Each structure stands twice: as C-alpha cells, then as structure tokens.
Amino acid sequence: MYVCSANVVKVDRHYDKSSSALAVEALAPVVEACGEPDALVVSTYLSRYQESFGNLGALLAEYLGFKGEVYEVSAGEASGGAAVALAYKLVRSGLKRVLVVGVDKTNDFQSKKAVKHLQTLLSPYESFYGLTYAGAHALAASLYMKEFNVSREELAHWAVVMHDNATAVPHAQLRFPVTVEKVLNSNSVAEPLKLLDSHPFSDGAAAVMLTSETSPVALEVAAASSKLTLAERDLTFMESAKAAMEALGNPEPEAVEVHDPFSVAGVIALESLGLAPRGKGIKYLLENAHSVNPSGGLKARGHPVGATGVYQVAEGFLAITSGLGKLGKVSSFLAHSSNLMGATTYLTYMREV
Amino acid sequence: MYVCSANVVKVDRHYDKSSSALAVEALAPVVEACGEPDALVVSTYLSRYQESFGNLGALLAEYLGFKGEVYEVSAGEASGGAAVALAYKLVRSGLKRVLVVGVDKTNDFQSKKAVKHLQTLLSPYESFYGLTYAGAHALAASLYMKEFNVSREELAHWAVVMHDNATAVPHAQLRFPVTVEKVLNSNSVAEPLKLLDSHPFSDGAAAVMLTSETSPVALEVAAASSKLTLAERDLTFMESAKAAMEALGNPEPEAVEVHDPFSVAGVIALESLGLAPRGKGIKYLLENAHSVNPSGGLKARGHPVGATGVYQVAEGFLAITSGLGKLGKVSSFLAHSSNLMGATTYLTYMREV
C-alpha cells in the first residue's frame, strides 16, 4: 500500500472560508496528481457543531463530481487517523485509489464556544460533572510531573521545541519562537497548564490519496482502543498507543508526529509508543528536537481537530519525499493520531520505497 | 462474506435510555452469539446534535471492554447502510468478525428541535433559504404526481401498506392500521404530504455481525453517490440507487426494505432500483405488499436515523433465517439505505446459503 500524493492548507484562522471550501482546496491538487479515486473518505469532528450541517461527505462528493463510494468518519480528535486507517482497509479490500480529506474549523465562534464543542469529546459522566478538555490534560500533567519528578520548567521545553520547529514550516499556524520563561508566564488555562502549553484554535484541511499502485511512499496502519472514561485509566500512559505500536511490529521511525494538544500529551505519547523510557519524554525530545513533531505538532502547527490526523500523514509524505522544516528528508515516519489521550489510537507508519 | 447474527431494539420513544444504553442493548446478544469482533463500526447521525457528546465509538468500545479497531461512521440518513458497507470492506481486507451497531434518538427534544436537526442533512445553500427536510420530500411528491399522473389517493396507499405490514412486526413503532381516508385527513406536514405519509420520530438501535466464516446468510454490498443539492438533480429519480444496483449486478430479491421517510421516497426508490417501472411504484407495491418493507419501513417500523440502515440489514437476516412479519421466510433480501433522497446510496444484498 502506498501514498500517491498529499496536500495541506495552511493552518490558520480562515474566517472567509467554509469547511467544504477548505476541503476542496486541500483535495483538488491531490486528485489532479493521482487521478479520480474509487472511494472518498471524509474526516471531520467539529464541523457538525459549528455549521448546522452534517452531510459533508455527500456535499464534497458533489463538489468533486464524484459518483463512487463515500464514507464520513470520526473518532474524536483522532478522526483523521481513523480516516487514513479506514482508507487503507478500503484499498486492502480491493479498491485502487482512495482519497482521504480531513477538515475542521474552530474559529467561527468565540473560543468559549469552541471549548464547549471540544468538551463533547469527554465521557458524558465526566463532562456532566464539569470536567473540561483542558482540565483533563491538566490532571494528566499534575500526575505525570509528580509521578516522574518532572518540573514545570522541564515540561515547558515541549512548547519551546514545537514553536522552534514550526518557524521553518510554511503551513504551520504559530510560526514564532517562545522561551521557557514566556511559556511559564503565559495565562493559565488549567493549572498547571499555561496558554503556551496549549494548541491554538485552528482552521484547516489536508488530503492524502492512498493507492495500491507503487509509489515512493509505502504505509502500514494499526489501530487500538482503550477506555474513554479518564477515571478508569492511568493518565500517565496510553495503553492503546502501546497496543497499536506492537501491532505495527514496534518500528523505529526516523521521525514522528505525536498528538500533542497540550505539552503533557506529547510527552506521554512518546513514552507510550515506546520511543522514550517512562518519565524521560522531555529528555528524548531535547535529544531529537527536529525529528519529534517537525511540523511543530498540534501545539504550533495547529489542531484543526478532524483534520489533524490527515495533516500528520501528509507531513510524513512531505518529509519522505522532500523534507519537512528543520527535519529535512527522512526515509521513515510515524504519525500518531490520538483521541482524548488515547481512548482510541490510529497509527500510520510510512517509509521510502 | 456472511452475516453471523443480528439484533434489534424495539423502535419506540425510549425516554429512559441514552443512545449508548440502547446501543449496548442491541449489540450484547450479537457478541454473545458470534464472539468478540476484530473491529467495531458505530453508526450514528443525530446523537451528536442531541446529546452534547460526540465520541460514541470510543464510549461503546469501553462499555464492551473492546480494545481493537473502532470506527464511527455517518452518511446522513444512510449512516447505517454506510456502516454495513464499511464493515464489509473491513472483513474483505482481512478481519474475521466486524460488529456494526447503529443508534440514534429523536425524542429527547420537542419535535420542532428534531426537525431542525434533520435539516442538517440538506445542502447548506438550500437549508439557508428555508428548505426543510419534509419540504424537500414535498417538492419531490408534487413533481412525481404531476409527471406520472399519480393521484394523492394513490400515493396514500404507501402508508396503508406500511402500517398493515408493521402490525405483524414486534419491533415496529407504529403497529396500527390506517386507511387512505385517514392518511388524507391527517394534519398537513408539507403539502401535499400529510402526517401519515411521514416517518415517526423514533429512538432505536440495531446490531449485526459480519464475518468471513460461513454462516446461513451471505451478503454483498454496493455504494454510489449522486449530488446533495436538490436543485441539481431530478427529484423523481435517484441516480445513486440505480448505479449501486448495477454494481450489484441487478439482483432480483424476494423482498426489499427501501428507505421511505415519506411515502414518495419509497415509491421513487422502488423505481430507481429498477424493481418497478417509472411511475408504477404504487402499482408494484400493491402487487407485492408483503415483500416491500415487510418491517413497515421507515414509515411504520420507524426511523431512528443513524440506526435505520442497520435495522434494514438485521431485518433481512431475520427474514432469511426465520421470517419477518407478514412476509414469512425468504431466500433473498435487499436493503436500500439512502441519504437525502439518494445523495448517497448503500445497498446490501443478502441471500440464504
């Protein structure tokens, strides 16, 4: 199985474009490069809450003049990864070319509203009692720092490295450097997490075409699930990430994009994937600064929720075919798409053919 | 490819149960009968609008104690059919057992709110100018009656037959007979369509397990898309239904469940599938009253939106293995899952092995 082509729209505040317009902008060059697909897989999560419209797969098929099979997929924040995994299965089942497009917008409302929409990711019982999406990550950060004796200053390095990587990536949203001091002095989002530990509100769309025809980038996928309810799991480790990585045969990628809506999630992801020892995620990051989230990650490239996982795979394609930001060209790449801190995980492993 | 087992919850007003509770009720006996699946496919459409929660796939995996691959799928009203089509592809790609569960509730709010949620199915430009879901079907009914010289009385026979079929089906929602006169004298929903031409607001869940292991019911699937925007298509014919039927090799099923949220949609579906000549859908229905929508169809069995397509496949399984309502036992069955009058279509053809 192969990736034929990929394309990303700059992650930004696209006040002047609808979700469908962004999606078409992302997918058109991919169809141009690879030809018409046999199936269309659309990934979105927030668009239903934001646009009073819920039939995006059918609308994009119309815009594309496409008459084949259409599937609209979601898996919370990991919707993009789920869509790529599903497209992979569609090609495995006998189709020649499957187009994946992921899209979401979070800036069409005040951030207060977007925060409420992100709360729809949480287990209903925990959400009902007032837990928020940022609050969930703050609990994980507190526990992680205590359990592994990691200081608040050390954790801030995640943001410093992500912003630095993003400065070299044209499609990233936050292309400015930050310092540890600046992170620690930014507004509090949910103690101990600060604004600069957090992903921005992002609008974006990305597209990739998977194909059974030989192409410069081969891929494998794996997926696993754990529990959604936070009270039922160890917040410092993502079982589903470990299980999916084992299903892939524990590859050793040259570079990785991990799901880091908040600094702590990225650190725990590196450890759950087995790339860094437990408690040593930040140390691993500092030793591999350009190969961990070369795009800047959700933290600095941005997090257009339902599109994020497709961005990661598109970035892997870019890194292998022509280089990505400060990373340059690599021959293998792992994309880690995670739904609410590992409730479900979808991995895509790509390598140069 | 085979259906191992299927189960349905009675379509009703389940004020005391959440979507996830209904889904677990539907899927538990299927997992009991077939064993743990390799992947879980969850189909839902309205639950996101109704429950301030959007991560149902992950939650159901937790309730099921399931750690494998999870995919949440939607395709508007045809979400259930899309989920079955996708599960089919997952088995084709190499998995042994894939569990599909469809669920939705429409009664947790006043019907006015449910009507607004159904409007999210429409192309945004048409919805913006005030077209409603019922209004779209009313336009189709007016055009159909004019073009094929079909009277309002003739069209009312659809409801009469559906209600009659439902009286013999324990899981149907509207288990009472109606007459042509009663249909014509019921409240107007959107002229020329009356309340008794329309599906009820329904809560429900259904589950089926697809498998590569030989089982008494074999299945094939096909899917196609057309356009979402009504202004861009012939409202009296569904191109995507015709294309999907051709992809199946135009089978001649002994019985069929067609997608009939309003009487006119069912009539046009029969004609678009090639089962009845154009303009002769009602005639065909009257000649085959027990083999067209033996469950009572969306009209009388009910239409729990994201679950409806899974109900149809479960009903096919029931009809082939033990008989369904007035139909009795058959050896072949077609399930027609349609999204906004054929914007997308997903067909499942089942036969006795």
User: What is the pLDDT confidence band of residue B111, given thresholds at 50, 70 and 90?
Assistant: confident
Per-residue pLDDT of B207-257, as tens digits, reads: 999 999 999 999 999 999 999 999 999 999 999 999 999 999 999 999 999
Mean pLDDT value across residues A260-284: 98
Residues A276 and A242 in one domain: yes
Residues B299 and B250 in one domain: yes
Mean pLDDT value across residues B113-137: 95
Per-residue pLDDT of A112-168, as tens digits, reads: 899 999 999 999 999 999 999 999 999 999 999 999 999 999 999 999 999 999 999
Examine the fold and report which residue of A217, A252, A273 is the final residue of a domain before the chain moves on. Answer: A217
Chain B contact for A262, CB < 8 A?
Answer: no
CA-nearest residue to B344 within chain A is A58
Nearest C-alpha of chain B: how many angstroms from A283? 30
- pLDDT reading at A51 higher than 90: no
A156: tokens are 């801030």
What is the reported pLDDT for A236?
Answer: 98
User: What is the pLDDT confidence band of residue B6, given thresholds at 50, 70 and 90?
Assistant: very high
Residues A58 and A82 in one domain: yes
What does the DSSP assignment read for A83-107? HHHHHHHHHHTT-SEEEEEEEEE--
Residues A58 and A134 in one domain: no
What is the reported pLDDT for B109?
Answer: 85
Per-residue pLDDT of A183-224, as tens digits, reads: 999 999 999 999 999 999 999 999 999 999 999 999 999 999
Examine the fold and report which residue of A190, A217, A244 is the final residue of a domain before the chain moves on. Answer: A217
**Nearest alpha-carbon partner for B229 in A48, A62, A47, A54:** A62
- Residue A298, domain CATH: 3.40.47.10
- pLDDT reading at B335 higher than 90: yes
The domain tally of chain B equals: 2
Residues A230 and A277 in one domain: yes
Between CA A269 and CA A278 the distance in angstroms is: 10
What is the reported pLDDT for A50?
Answer: 87
Chain A contact for B219, CB < 8 A?
Answer: no
Chain A contact for B212, CB < 8 A?
Answer: no
Binary contact (B58, A224; C-beta < 8 A) = no
- pLDDT reading at A110 higher than 90: no
Mean pLDDT, chain B, as a whole number?
A: 97
Nearest C-alpha of chain B: how many angstroms from A116? 9
Say whether the peptide bond before residue A261 is cis (omega within 30 degrees of 0).
no
Q: Among A156-165, A295-304, A313-322, B49-58, whose mean pLDDT is lowest?
A: B49-58
Residues B33 and B83 in one domain: yes
Binary contact (B228, A119; C-beta < 8 A) = no
Residues B190 and B213 in one domain: no
- pLDDT reading at B19 higher than 90: yes
Question: Where would I find the H helices in chain A?
Answer: 19-34, 47-51, 56-64, 79-92, 111-118, 124-128, 133-147, 152-166, 180-185, 239-247, 263-272, 281-287, 297-300, 308-321
A223 and A346 Cβ atoms separated by less than 8 Å? yes
Per-residue pLDDT of B150-182, as tens digits, reads: 999 999 999 999 999 999 999 999 999 999 999
CB contacts under 8 A, B 25-54 vs A, are: 40, 45, 48-49, 51-54
* Radius of gyration (C-alpha) of chain A in whole angstroms: 18
Per-residue pLDDT of A225-261, as tens digits, reads: 999 999 999 999 999 999 999 999 999 999 999 999 9
What is the reported pLDDT for B148?
Answer: 98
Residues B91 and B136 in one domain: no
Chain B contact for A167, CB < 8 A?
Answer: no
Chain A contact for B73, CB < 8 A?
Answer: yes
A55 vs B contacts (CB less than 8 Å): 75-76, 120-123, 228, 339-340, 343
Among A52, A70, A92, the residue with its CB nearest the CB of B344 is: A70
User: What is the pLDDT confidence band of residue A45, given thresholds at 50, 70 and 90?
Assistant: very high
AA identity, residue A154: E
Residues B190 and B103 in one domain: no
Residue B118 lies inside a defined structural domain of this protein: no
Nearest C-alpha of chain A: how many angstroms from B157? 31
A49 vs B contacts (CB less than 8 Å): 48, 54
A119 vs B contacts (CB less than 8 Å): 52
Residues A158 and A235 in one domain: yes
User: What is the pLDDT confidence band of residue B345, given thresholds at 50, 70 and 90?
Assistant: very high
Mean pLDDT, chain A, as a whole number?
A: 97
Domain hosting residue A105, numbered range: 2-109+204-217
What is the reported pLDDT for B278?
Answer: 98
- Going from the C-alpha of A189 to that of each of A126, A132, A137, A213, B48, the distances in angstroms are 19, 11, 10, 47, 26
